[in-house]
Amino acid sequence: MLAHNLVELVGRTPLLKIPSLSRLSQCDIFVKCEFMNPGGSIKDRAALAMVQDAIEDGRLKPGMTIVEGTAGNTGIGLAIAAKAFGYKMLVVMPKGQTPEKERMITLHGAELLLVDPCPFKDPKHFYHTARRIAEEKPEQYFWANQFENLSNFRAHCDFTGPEILQQMSGRLDALVSASGTGGTIGGCSAYLKEQLPDIKVVLADPEGSGLYSYFKTGEFKSEGSSLTEGIGIMRLVANFAQAKIDTALRVTDKQLITVARYVRDEDGIVLGSSSALNAAAALHTSLQLGPGHRVVTFACDLGERSYSKLWNADYLKAQKLDEGLPTMGQLVAHYHAESLGL
């Protein structure tokens, strides 16, 4: 492939079988290697689509600055897309995200505005801060609005889902995905359910997110918190509303840590925290489906972006996440016993 700018490298990522988890489950478990996008994450897809669509319909005009509130990866993807099309980029991000993401945003030429973390209802929340900046100077700023902007959903419905179906030669039993904005699970599930009506779509949700509760009860309720970043939401947004989900499961930090270490030690695959959450949920799903099934999930970003948390012994010790970790055998037994109703 010969590319003429960086955004031409977005998409067409390979699928990788995870040998160790496939052996444990007697299924074929694949991750779509979204860390191979130029910005190192799956968010490059939505970022490119949002920018292209806004240019085409006139919302994003020459000389304007793109602004977005993000936990990091969308900001990196937007910074790359902004540079490719000749725009400036302002990223509003809550303090406390991994420094790896902060560095990448500025390395790609974007301006970074860090704000104090706070509940969504607080007007100082990073989401509201980005929105307010755009609303106060609409002639100067274009707000990407990744949660409600359905270009996000369409990027995955039009491209990611079809890529998966083609790579799996049409043979796929389950899709497993966490949700940040809902674009990935929304777009991929909508496309794949249309092509493969019997496919099972499983939502993986971390502690601290309300999506598991919403799916089970219709109410957004959460308990605890998670070391994952940019995963899970406490409100219904437009992109997630498109998702065609069969069941949901909650993955704890200790479970994803066990899976991340196992896959690293057995296969040499270094997963980030959200990718490890997906892998744990894919293992759970495979054990419920039984031997011989084919399951796809997502390696959302580069494992090195989780170095300061997931792969940092001091951080895990301070959060008491290094205590009482389940062994892989214990985790498999637990997943076998816990029915997903598939």
Residue 148: CB atoms within 10 A of its CB come to: 13
No. of helices (H) and no. of strands (E), the chain: 13, 10
Look at phi and psi of residue 40 and say left if phi exceeds 0, alpha if psi is from -120 to 50, else beta.
Answer: left
φ/ψ (deg, to 5) at 54: -70, -35
Pairwise CA distance, residues 78 & 84, whole Å: 10
Residue 322: CB atoms within 10 A of its CB come to: 14
Task: Find the catalytic residue in 32, 43, 101, 193.
Answer: 43
CB 84 within 8 A of CB 3: no
Residue 324's Cβ-count burial label (10 Å; 0-12, 13-18, 19+) is exposed
In residues, how long is the chain?
342
CB 181 within 8 A of CB 242: no
Structure tokens at 42: 């799956």
CB 18 within 8 A of CB 263: yes
Taking Cα atoms as reference points, which of 199, 159, 196, 208 lies closest to residue 48? 159
Catalytic residue at 43?
Answer: yes
Element containing residue 274 per DSSP (H, E): helix 273-289
**What is the distance of C-alpha 228 from the center of its chain?**
10
Q: Which residues contact 307 (CB under 8 A, 6 or more apart)?
A: 98, 100
- What single DSSP character describes residue 13? P
- What single DSSP character describes residue 83? H
Supply the residues annotated as catalytic.
43
